[in-house]
Amino acid sequence: MTYGKDPYKFFFEMREKYGNVFVFVLLGRRVTVALGTQGNNMVMGGKLSQVNAEEAYTNLTTPVFGEGVVYDVPNHVLMEQKRFVKIGLTTESFRAYVGMIEEEVELFLCTDSAFAAYKASGVDMWGSFDAYHAMSQLTILTASRTLQGNEVRGQMTKTFPQMYEDLDGGFTPLNLIAPNIPLPKNIRRNKAQKAITEFYMNILRTRRERPSEDTEYDMIAALKDQHYKDGRPVSDREIAHMMIALLMAGQHTSSAALSWCLLHIAHRQDVQDALYQEQVEHFPDSDGSLRSPTYEELKGLPILDSIIRETLRLHPPSHIIMRKVVSDLPVPCSLGNAPENRTFVIPKGNYVWAAPCVTQIDPSIWRKPMEWEPSRWTETGSLAAQLYRDYAETGEKVDYGFGMISKGTDSPYQPFGSGRHRCIGEQFAYVQLETILAMLVRKLEMKIDHVPPHNYHTLIISPQEPRSIRFRRRQ
């Protein structure tokens, strides 16, 4: 119960009492928690013969994504599927996405009812919007315009949102352990899964009959003609299921991250001003307005970048990483607190969790860990700046089958995970977050008195209500 109420509090209290490794029973399952950078390393750098992700996640994901993808297939197939997706996430597509996202933000502000005060241009009028709700709507629009493709974007004003909502209703913690209870929610989930799969398969059929140029940068185009190493082509059904997986993987993570960024900059006027000034300095147009940024220009902006980094440190959307232990797993001495000359072994059948959310605020690692302070990422000599450099330039690199990534399994900062299950959506998420934040701060002045606390009842940590940001059109 303590875990469910406040996982951070639970982890810190248990660590105080028992050290970095401890076991608790959650709904009849034995869960070994492994904290600290060594715990991150054990779980995320673990061998396939020892720890397994698909057994831990498949109950939740397979009924939502569909069969034959992600955690419904052996790990080597997932690695190939990640490679296919990576092929679609190119610099060229990111370049095209920035302009599309810019347009979507403008359209959203002009049409969404919460932003009526924005539309009433010229008038000094304050309005307010629910940060999480608004950002969920905006990110699904931008994701569908870019990755998901025109056909999905076209359905966003029609049938797609209801199907998405029903499918998303299947993403509940309960379904991790009991996925097939015939609750109305699960029945709707199954129906929506079939309908969305059909929808994507139709898109594929239509595109094969009538090739079109305005789809060249989306993910369906990238997945369409791929083959597994054994020569087998990726089937339309698998593509449909991968598209659902990408939609789900990106949606709550990005919209939660984005709403936390906005809540913090609405609270910290100094940071908001600095962020706006950064835009003014880099993108002046001849008529006094601000011009559109390019992908390369947005990527290099230190204030924008460190706002996102710092937000993901304090509010990582996934607070735990789960695996099932498939063969007895000895705990390294540096991690375990076993009595002298003995080692702990996590028995086969246990679940093992890493919690990088804990190392990301560990007071023995970070200065003023609970303060949202983006400047730590650019301060010379700070740990944060060091971590960023290691990761970008010098760190050890490995290839698990989907391209070179930095190893980083023992890093104290890993909002995107590490090792073979590392996120492949990070760069896309950054393009999306950077463009949306830049556009919003250009157009709006935002204010809030307090940053709301975490809501732990959702699978992805979201801001608790009330979470309304007051805004007016920037003069």
Ligand X SMILES: *[C@@H]1O[C@H](CO)[C@@H](O)[C@H](O)[C@H]1NC(C)=O
Which residue in 240, 249, 358, 446 binds ligand HEM (CB under 6 A)? 249
Which residue in 49, 113, 289, 341 binds ligand X (CB under 6 A)? 341
Please say whether the dihedral angle defined by the alpha carbons of residues 261, 262, 264 and 269, taken in this order, is positive or negative.
positive
How far CA 2 is from CA of 25, 26, 27, 171, 242, in Å, comes to 12, 11, 13, 22, 35
Q: How far apart are CA 223 and CA 209, in angstroms?
A: 17
Asked if 64 interacts with ligand HEM (CB under 6 A), we say no
Q: Which stretch binds ligand X (CB under 6 A): 106-114, 172-180, 283-291, 313-321?
A: 172-180
The encoded tokens of residue 399 equal 């290839």
Q: Which does 62 bind (CB under 5 to 8 A by kind): ligand HEM, ligand X, none?
A: none
Q: Which does 177 bind (CB under 5 to 8 A by kind): ligand HEM, ligand X, none?
A: ligand X
Which residue in 51, 53, 152, 335 binds ligand HEM (CB under 6 A)? 53
Using alpha carbons, select from 211, 308, 304 the residue that is nearest to residue 258: 308
- Kindly write out the interface string for residues 390-429 of this chain, putting x where it contacts ligand HEM by CB under 6 A and - elsewhere: -------------------------xxx---x-xxx--xx
| Beta carbons of 74 and 228 less than 8 angstroms apart | no
Residues in 67-96 at the binding interface with ligand HEM, rule: CB under 6 A: 78, 82
What stretches of 112-230 show up as alpha helix (H) in DSSP?
116-119, 131-143, 150-155, 160-168, 174-177, 184-209, 219-223
Q: How many CA atoms lie within 13 A of 330 on its CB side?
A: 5
- Please provide the size of the chain in residues: 475
> Which residue, 117 or 240, is less far from ligand HEM as judged by CB?
240
Q: How far apart are CA 384 and CA 412, in angstroms?
A: 10
> Which residue, 75 or 128, is less far from ligand HEM as judged by CB?
75
Q: Which residue has the tokens 């990534």?
A: 405
Q: Which stretch binds ligand X (CB under 6 A): 7-15, 93-101, 170-178, 330-338?
A: 170-178
Which residue in 135, 321, 346, 352 binds ligand HEM (CB under 6 A)? 321
Q: Which does 341 bind (CB under 5 to 8 A by kind): ligand X, ligand HEM, none?
A: ligand X
Please, which residues bridge with residue 23 across strands?
Answer: 32
Asked if 340 interacts with ligand X (CB under 6 A), we say yes
Q: Is 110 annotated as a binding residue?
A: no
Binding site for ligand HEM (CB under 6 A): 53, 78, 82, 246, 249-250, 253-254, 257, 317-318, 321, 415-417, 421, 423-425, 428-429
- List the binding residues for heme: 423
